[in-house]
Amino acid sequence: MRVLKFGGTSVADADAIRRVVAIVAEERRTSVIEGPVVVVSALGGVTDKLLEVAALARRGDATHALALVDQLYARHLETLAALAPGEHGGPVPEAVDALFAQLRAIAGAVAVLHEASPRSLDAIAAIGELASSRIVTAALQSAGTPATWADPRALIVTDEHFTSATPLLDAIDVQAPAHLRPALAAGRVIVTGGFVGATGKGITTTLGRGGSDYSAALIGAALGADEIQIWTDVDGMLTADPRVVEQPRLVPTLSFAEAAELAYFGAKVLHPKSIQPAAARNIPVRILNTFRPQAAGTLIADGACPDRTAVTALACKRGITVVTITSTGMLMAYGYLRRLFEVFERHQTPVDVVSTSEVSVSVTIDDRAHLDRIVAALSDFAEVSVSNHLALIAVVGEGYGHEPAAFSRVVRALEGLPLRLVSQADSRRNVTLVLDEDALGVAMSRLHAEFFGKPVATPATLMTSAAGR
Ligand code: ADP
Ligand code: ASP
Ligand code: MG
């Protein structure tokens, strides 16, 4: 049994959802005995719009908030009508109506109070996946595939950390199979919404932006799936972010550890936490393109990567902040680092990269929400400086540690660019670099050319460069 997750672009409109229906039908025709379980994101762009509804309402602008709700409602109804006309919509139009009625009520309340708590934000954001999963269920049924909708709030049990809740694995291991196994055994396809969960008391939560991948992995792990497929709008994991580097290549295979590093350091195609549940149960993950289903995609599994070049792929993230803590108290002292990291822990701020010298420690963070309080607390025992507008690059590969020249190739490629931080752990699966955001594009292109070759000039790019001369 497989879990197939379709992202926002893959369910953006009726045409895209028809592709999803065809992929699910093909999955049932060619492969396995049960399933699949289909996990869907909100229709493309809807989560952003829902958060905009919340922001407008919080400012007290009920008129614009409700106008946006009406637009979203119309888009959902139109998509549903195109896919499941007439009675094929079944009870779905009512379910979608109920969701939008709820959304209007919450947005109205937020507008009156001028306050949107994280809990209200989750109630609002969850509408996207709750509605899209209903529509995809109806589309499958209308195309003759026996499909059953499952409420993600009955499957993904989480803590109460609204807007980025932590899933409670033991509870999910019980709840997800209990809810899904009977319908699977009856030969039905299950459709559920990603991103959404609920606390033990049934209050709606979300897993954080991009969290549908994580939902799919959690459900796949709980059911002991044979494979988790992430269907998206690119051919697989690419050698770099296609929005930053021209013509990145497809990476056909990745180890779990490589995939986790790349996702953590910015390869948006996978949610950073989505690899962990799959790796823990050794379930292969495949990234596939909804718009080119015949393409081979990327397979993530242990032992999937036979001959490795030094670098498998690059990842990058903007908006990084470096905090540098300097104190002579660090000289020859023990307990100092504990004291320092405790400050970040107390303010629930993850530290990504660490670099130390004799009297100073520099760390990167990408969540600045508690920065002021962190700086104040550190200033009690050290001098603190903060640099913003930085970017981070991770050069990742299982083969990296086996090529002695790898690091010097990285440094040579970046010659002349001011590096702020460099960190390479002894596992030697990656090197992480921090530099000014402005230099990111150049740095990524140079590294990419060094490890994967220069982009091939197409007639279009030749023309542009000729015109530019
Ligand atoms: P979905 O809505 O299907 O979850 P996302 O937008 O979250 O899709 O992730 C897919 C996008 O991730 C791609 O369109 C691409 O722009 C971006 N991306 C960033 N880094 C990479 C990478 N290394 N390989 C592939 N895609 C990447
Ligand atoms: N719809 C959510 C988001 O846009 C979750 C997801 O698509 O994975 O962040
Ligand atoms: Mg995504």
Q: Summarize pLDDT for 54-63 with one digit per residue, the tens.
A: 999 999 999 9
User: Residue whose CA is closest, atom 8 of ligand 2?
Assistant: 210
Tokens encoding 176: 């997800």
Ligand 2 binding residues, C-beta < 6 A: 7-8, 41-42, 47, 128, 194-195, 209-212
> Which tens digit of pLDDT belongs to each residue from 301-347?
987 565 678 899 999 999 999 999 998 776 667 888 899 999 999 99
What confidence tier does 462 reach under pLDDT thresholds 50, 70, 90?
very low
Quote the CA–CA distance of 159 and 167 in Å, as a whole number.
6
Quote the CA–CA distance of 149 and 39 in Å, as a whole number.
10
Give DSSP secondary structure letters for 266-278: T-TTS-TTSHHHH
> Which tens digit of pLDDT belongs to each residue from 359-405?
899 999 999 999 999 999 999 999 999 999 999 999 999 888 888 88
Our answer on whether the CB atom of 210 is closer than 6 Å to any ligand 1 atom is yes
Best residue among 6, 41, 43, 51 to mutate for probing ligand 2's pocket (most ligand atoms within 8 Å of CB) is 41
Angle at 293 between CA 47 and CA 133, to 5 degrees: 35
Best residue among 129, 132, 195, 274 to mutate for probing ligand 2's pocket (most ligand atoms within 8 Å of CB) is 195
On the question of pLDDT at 92 being above 80, the answer is: no
How far from 189 is each of 101, 183, 185, 385, CA to CA, in Å? 28, 8, 10, 55
What confidence tier does 464 reach under pLDDT thresholds 50, 70, 90?
very low
Quote the CA–CA distance of 211 and 263 in Å, as a whole number.
12
Burial 45-76 (b: 16+ CB within 10 A, else e): ebbebbbebbebbbeeebeebbebbeebbebb
Strands 285-289 and 298-300, by their bridges, are: antiparallel
249 CB neighbour count, 10 Å cutoff:
16
What confidence tier does 467 reach under pLDDT thresholds 50, 70, 90?
very low
Query: What letter does residue 11 receive in the DSSP assignment?
Result: G
pTM over 0.75: yes
Least confident of 134-143, 227-236, 348-357: 348-357
On the question of pLDDT at 222 being above 50, the answer is: yes
Query: Around ion ligand 3, which residues have CB less than 5 A away?
Result: 7, 210
Tell me, rounded to whole angstroms, the distance of Cα 60 from its chain centroid: 31
Distance between first and last Cα of the chain: 56
Residue 429: per-residue pLDDT: 85
- On average, the pLDDT of the chain sits at 93
